[in-house]
Amino acid sequence: MRVLIVEPSKDLAGVISDSFSQENIIADVAHTAQAGIAHADKNKPDIVVLELLMSDHNGLEFIHEFKSYQDWFDIPILIYSDLSSEELGKAVGWREDMNIIGHLYKPTASLKELKGYVKSAFNED
């Protein structure tokens, strides 16, 4: 399985990536939305783990651009963000439309939960 981690913090992206590597999951890392698109173009991911708070484009713009490519439309996106559910709002509709499989609040969701969520998306528990 190949995960694309779009996370602006280089240190945190490294930690998440190392954590996936422990499970023999290939993890590509991008620190900006544009780098995320470029990475996906080079190595098509099975799932994207996305922080919405980014300095160049915000995560929602990334989602819209990512999903505008037909080949990638079915690739699930898991939001792993410093934004809480309350801050993110209750826009469930767009999540389903965009194949957003879930939202984990980064401060309280452990790496174990993150990996569990990713693996369960592919029934690899």
Residues lying near other proteins in the complex (CB under 8 A): 8-9, 11-12, 15-16, 18-19, 22, 55, 82, 106-107, 110-112
State the nearest-atom distance from the C-beta of 96 to other proteins, in Å. 27
- Nearest residue (CB) to other proteins, 15 versus 91: 15
Q: Where are the extended beta strands (E) located within 9-112? A: 26-30, 47-50, 77-81, 100-105
- Nearest residue (CB) to other proteins, 61 versus 82: 82
State the nearest-atom distance from the C-beta of 109 to other proteins, in Å. 10
- Nearest residue (CB) to other proteins, 111 versus 121: 111
Phi, psi of 82 (to 5 degrees): -75, -10
> Exposed e or buried b for every residue in 49-83, given b needs 16+ CB within 10 A?
bbbbebeeeebbebbeebbeeeebeebbbbbbbeb
Q: Are 64 and 21 in contact (CB under 8 A)?
A: no
State the nearest-atom distance from the C-beta of 46 to other proteins, in Å. 22
State the nearest-atom distance from the C-beta of 82 to other proteins, in Å. 6
